[in-house]
A and B are shown apart, each in its own frame.
Chain A
Amino acid sequence: MSSASRLDSFPEFDVPETNSQNNDEHPRLASSPILMRSQSVVKSYRKGKIEIPVLHGIDFEVREQEMVSIVGASGSGKSTLLHLLGTLDVPDEGEIFFEGNRIDNLPAASRDILRNQYFGMIFQFYHLLPEFTTLENVLMPVMIQYPFMKYMRKRRALKKRAKELLEMVGLSHRLRHKPKELSGGEMQRVAIARALISEPRLLLADEPTGNLDRDAGLEILEILRTLNDQHNLTIVMVTHDLAIAEMTDRTVRLAEGLVTSV
């Protein structure tokens, strides 16, 4: 894997303070460089013979160290947009750039690497693997990244880092628990730790609070806020909850597959 060396070139496993190329404490303004950009992205789904257009040409950008929320009614295409940004899907038309490079037409192997090491993703339904413990779930991305021998050699350091991340999200007492033994909020916190294990440049969150009660949702948002504020992690979050969206730096509104307000 060509990018296997990437982790090595990073300062070894410090808490994700990875994107701080400039020394400004809280830039997140128009001055900071664009991390990701979509240009007239069109996407439609096929249901039998009928084509259902979802996105009609989305122009969207995220700047480094920004925390953006995408809001819109259900069916407005916000999750689809997030999936396209996260290379889980390919747009029908238009282009997506990450750090200035086009990524929507990359071969599958390169997109796998992007998802594995450059993006972190969290979902509404947490999507933890039920057969694995909390710790193993967090380690999953690095298990995918490294071949067996390399993983075994780095195992100690990786485990230490996973434990630190779990401690950060307040779950250090739940290392050996299976997902079904955790509450919704706890599962989402595990998912956040998992998304951070390979020190991503960008965190994509799909309705992270959609399945949680208000308090648990706020806790999750608090964690995301902290990551953004203190560790300068760029975050794109999809939500339908305007109160949650209020707490981000910027809100993008989608309706009928178009950006209606920024």
Chain B
Amino acid sequence: MYKWLLSWRYLKSRYIALASVISVMLGVATLIVVNSVMAGFSAEMHDRLHGILSDVVLRSHNLDGFPDPNWHMEEIRKQVGDDLEGMTAAIQVPAMVSFSHNGQWVTRPISLVGIDKETYGSVSEFSEFLLHPENREKLSFLLREQGYGKGKKVSFPTSGWKRRRVQAEYEQAVIKHQTGSNFSNSGPSLPEGIDSFDPTQLDPPDSFNSDETNGSVADLPPLPPLPELENRSDHVEPDAVVGGMNSVPFQQPLESIEFDPMTEQHTGIVLGISICSIRGRDESGEIQDYYLCLPGDDVKITFPNSGQPPKAVSDTFTVVDFYESEMSEYDSSFAFMPIERLQHLRGMVDAQSGVGSVTSIQIKLKEGADLAVVRDKLQARFPVHQFGYQISTWRDLQGPLLSAVQMETTILNILLFLIIAVAGFGILATFFMIVVEKTRDVGVLKSLGASDGGVMRIFVGYGLALGIVGSGIGMAMGLAFVANINEVASWIEWLTGQEVFDPTIYYFSEIPVIVKPITVLFIVLGAVAIAVGASVLPARKAARLKPVEALRYE
């Protein structure tokens, strides 16, 4: 009985104990905050990383790919069985995208992915990241009239057919003007010089500013256009299209038929948003994206064909949508186009069977399926010495990044736990002091019949009370901090003038947090254990005091 009463009294009456309580409190709060933020980061990273990757990918060892994807998919279906959720064949090749901006050609390296628009969305969250709401519902490689960015972006420049028509109109006006003033460069094939068109050079016609909120297009002074002549036969081959893209106007079979950018488009392509946009801040510090090109513009893409050795092939495409996964790695490298067209352009279609090769098969598994098991099954079915396929889960593909995050979390936890250990030594020192201070009281208690164990329990109980109070308050503080972390961040920003969380650097616009009750429990229990552990030594010292000596102590 007296043990608890004494522990409690000592806790209440010693300011020095308050210091220990605070150090435990701060340690616990920090650990909770850091763990929640790290868990949030890593969960968000997983989502983002996984977002555009399917669960398991089977890839060929070279860019020629493997023939007969249907047979492969059948085999995979047999192997995976009930766990299978979706499957799609795709081609991925390194490529180069070029587009004209301010009269300059901008060229970027990309990863060109030929996808089957019917099934690609079933293996990853690809379609969720598209900017046009209808494409999110059902992907089409046809340019939409307008409405890009609806539901995702607060403001997005005019795009789609609306933009394309205005461009074409302006461009024709420019050409007329140039031919009128004997501008010798402009030849008869000028209407095809659309690639040189730059939207930022024009004074916006009235129809253009309907939902224009991003000032970038209108504000720049017009530069003299640099028309560049293109031979259209480069990018539209006479016998080009075999089914699949029937309704697309790029299937102009003959050179002689003129391409009218007012009403026609090239093969549609979906670009990662960072390929052709720059993220920065305006004068007021708001995050602002500046677009180098937009849906409705044409771009040129160069990629290797499947010849031996490969040669570069170019074609013109019309940007029909952007996708934004908010993973800068993906957003700045991937471009998606119809697989049939890519197979054709690269010469991957078997002349006899008419079946195109693919370079990868992407597999989505049912929720809860063990990815590694499926991967191993497939590796057994397609032995590497026979097929040479690389079969990996998305975790394997993103392994270094995931393990980096994991390692960061581990190291942070170790460091922070050391902080609590420091608090533990603080408690140890404090308690030794308190024991010395309380030596006489210990003697009194012993003279009144308190046992050694009882005296020891007073001080261990003191440590326990201190740990419970400290980690209790710390837990409340930590959870409150986590719950309001973005407000806290902006407050600190206001206080220091230093941005705590820069959305231009990170993948996320808010600090993501996940509070795991089990982690909180571990932290609190750990802190209490350290407090108790630190009090054991001083408690033993107190328990071993000889009552006579303790009483003589003044």
Chain B CB within 8 A of A143 CB: yes
> Chain B's nearest CB lies how many Å from the CB of A4?
12
Of the candidate stretches B246-254, B391-399, B400-408, B443-451, the one touching chain A is B443-451
Partner of B9, one of A123, A128, A131: A131
Question: Given A88-B551, A89-B546, A131-B9, A144–B447 Cβ distance below 8 Å?
Answer: no
Q: What B residues does A123 contact at CB under 8 A?
A: 447, 551
B11 CB to nearest A CB, Å: 10
- Report A-chain residues with C-beta under 8 Å of the C-beta of B373: none
The minimal Cβ–Cβ distance linking A134 to chain B, given in whole angstroms, is 14
- Interface of chain A residues 145 through 199 with chain B (CB within 8 A): 145-148, 151-152, 194
Tell me which residues across on chain A come within 8 A of B551, comparing CB atoms: 88, 123, 127
Selected from A108, A117, A130, A151, the residue in CB contact (under 8 A) with B1 is A151
Q: Contacts A129-B444, A151-B1 hold; do A144 and B548 have CB atoms under 8 A apart?
A: no
The answer on a CB contact under 8 Å between B13 and A131 is yes
Q: Give chain A nearest CB distance to B466 CB in angstroms.
A: 16
**Across-interface contacts of A217 in B (CB, < 8 A):** none
A124-136 near B? 1/0 per residue, CB < 8 Å: 0101111110001
Contact call B548/A89, Cβ cutoff below 8 A: yes
For residue B10, CB closer than 8 A to chain A, the reply is: yes
Using a CB-CB cutoff of 8 Å, which residues 90-139 of chain A contact chain B?
108-109, 112-117, 121, 123, 125, 127-132, 136
User: Complex: how many Å from CA A194 to CA B447?
Assistant: 12
B266 CB within 8 Å of chain A: no
Shortest C-beta distance, B290 to chain A (Å), equals 69
On whether A121 and B447 interact (CB within 8 A), knowing A88-B547, A129-B441, the answer reads yes
A116→B444 CA distance, assembly (Å):
11
Closest approach, in angstroms, between the C-beta of B16 and any C-beta of chain A? 14
Is the CB–CB distance between A108 and B451 below 8 Å?
A: yes
Known: A127-B551, A151-B1. A144 touches B9 (CB 8 A): no
A108 pairs with B452, CB closer than 8 A: yes
Whether, in the assembled complex, A57 has its beta carbon less than 8 Å from a beta carbon of chain B, the answer is no
Question: Complex: how many Å from CA A86 to CA B450?
Answer: 14
Provide the bound-state CA to CA distance between A130 and B445, in Å.
Answer: 12
- Select one of A112, A129, A147 contacting B449, CB under 8 A: A112
User: How far apart are the CA atoms of A115 and B440 in the complex, in Å?
Assistant: 17
Question: Count the A residues whose beta carbon is within 8 Å of the partner chain — how many?
Answer: 33
Q: Which residues of A contact B444 (CB under 8 A)?
A: 127-129
| Nearest A residue to B448, CB-CB | A141
CB neighbours of A144 from chain B (8 A) = 1-2, 445, 448-450, 454
A218 surroundings in chain B (CB, below 8 A): none
Chain A's closest residue to B451 (CB) is A112
A88-B548, A127-B440 are known contacts. Are A148 and B4 too (CB-CB below 8 A)?
yes
Most B CB atoms within 10 A — which of A89, A123, A140, A146? A140
The answer to whether A116 and B9 touch across the interface, beta carbons within 8 angstroms, is no
- Collect the chain A residues with CB atoms within 8 Å of residue B451's CB: 108-109, 112
Q: Which residues of A sit under 8 angstroms from B547, Cβ to Cβ?
A: 88-89
Bin the interface of chain B by size. Answer: 20 to 34
A132 & B449 in contact (Cβ 8 Å cutoff) = no
Contact B2 A143 (CB under 8 A): yes
Query: A132 with B554: in contact, given A127-B444, A140-B448, A145-B449 (CB under 8 Å)?
Result: no
User: Contacting B448 at CB < 8 Å: which of A116, A132, A151?
Assistant: A116
> How far apart are the CA atoms of A109 and B441 in the complex, in Å?
19
| CA–CA, A123 and B444, complex, Å | 10
Chain B residues near A141 (CB-CB < 8 A) = 448-449
Collect the chain B residues with CB atoms within 8 Å of residue A151's CB.
1
B476 at interface (Cβ–Cβ under 8 A)?
no
Cα A75 to Cα B551 in complex, Å, equals 16
A132 & B447 in contact (Cβ 8 Å cutoff): no
- A:31-73 near B, CB below 8 Å: none
Question: Which of chain B's residues 434-470 have a Cβ closer than 8 Å to chain A?
Answer: 440-441, 443-452, 454
Which residues in B have their C-beta under 8 angstroms from that of A86?
Answer: 447
In the complex, whether A83 has a CB less than 8 A from a CB of chain B is yes
By the criterion CB–CB under 8 Å, are B554 and A116 in contact? no
Give the docked Cα–Cα distance between A158 and B449 (Å): 17
Contacts of B449 in A (CB 8 A): 112-117, 141, 144-145
Q: Which of B5-21 contact A (CB under 8 A)?
A: 5-6, 9-10, 13
Beta-carbon nearest neighbor of A148 in chain B = B1
Complex alpha-carbon distance, A128 and B440, angstroms: 10
Give chain A residues whose Cβ lies under 8 Å from the Cβ of B452.
108
Contact partners of B13 in chain A: CB under 8 A = 131
In the bound complex, CA of A231 to CA of B446 (Å): 26
Across the interface, name the chain A residue whose C-beta is closest to B13: A131
Q: Please measure, in the bound complex, the distance between the C-alpha atom of A108 and the C-alpha atom of B453, giving whole angstroms.
A: 11
- Give the residues in chain B near A116, CB-CB below 8 Å: 448-450
Pair B448/A146 contact, Cβ less than 8 Å: no
- Does A147 lie within 8 Å of B1, measured CB to CB? yes
Nearest Cβ on chain A to B314's Cβ, whole angstroms = 87
- Known contacts A88-B547, A88-B551, A144-B454, A115 near B447 by CB under 8 Å: yes
Which residues of B are found within 8 Å of A194, using beta-carbon distances?
Answer: 448
CA–CA, A146 and B450, complex, Å = 11
Shortest distance in angstroms between A155's beta carbon and chain B's nearest beta carbon? Answer: 10
Pairwise interchain contact B9-A146, C-beta atoms closer than 8 A: no
Question: 3 nearest interchain CB pairs?
Answer: A116-B449, A143-B2, A131-B9
A-B contact pairs, 5 of them (CB 8 A): A86-B447, A123-B447, A128-B444, A144-B445, A144-B449
Using A127-B440, A129-B445 as known contacts, list a sample of 20 further A-B pairs with CB atoms less than 8 Å apart, ordered by residue number in A. Answer: A88-B547, A89-B546, A109-B451, A113-B449, A114-B449, A115-B447, A121-B448, A123-B447, A129-B6, A129-B441, A131-B6, A131-B9, A131-B10, A131-B13, A132-B9, A141-B449, A143-B1, A143-B2, A144-B2, A147-B1
